[in-house]
Amino acid sequence: MPNDDHEVKLTSDHWEDLKDRWAEIRLDSMDPNDMEQFVYQVLRESLDDLSPTETVRQFTDEFDRETVDQVIRDVTSP
């Protein structure tokens, strides 16, 4: 049992189970708009550590080149 200062001693398996349960509880509490905003934020932040070149490579791996080229044209046009 946790004590008053919330110190908890868990095995690695317990820690993994706790993370799974916490994620399930958070997901269950979200409405579709919350989920959409959360996914957007995670996807957006995942690009922060990539260079523009690395980002384009990743996009090209995930989408067709025509889509990638169109997005680049969209963001670079005046």
Q: Where are the domains of the chain?
A: 32-78
What is residue 7's predicted lDDT score, i.e. its pLDDT?
75
71 within 8 A of 63, measured Cβ to Cβ: no
Residue-wise pLDDT tens digits, 24-51 = 999 999 999 999 999 999 999 999 999 9
Residue-wise pLDDT tens digits, 12-28 = 999 999 999 999 999 99
In angstroms, the CA 6 to CA 13 distance is 19
What is the dihedral sign for C-alpha 5, 9, 38, 30? negative
Over the Cα atoms of the chain, what is R_g?
20
What is residue 8's predicted lDDT score, i.e. its pLDDT?
80
In angstroms, the CA 47 to CA 52 distance is 9
Q: Which residue has the tokens 């994620």?
A: 23
For all residues of the chain together, what is the average pLDDT? 91
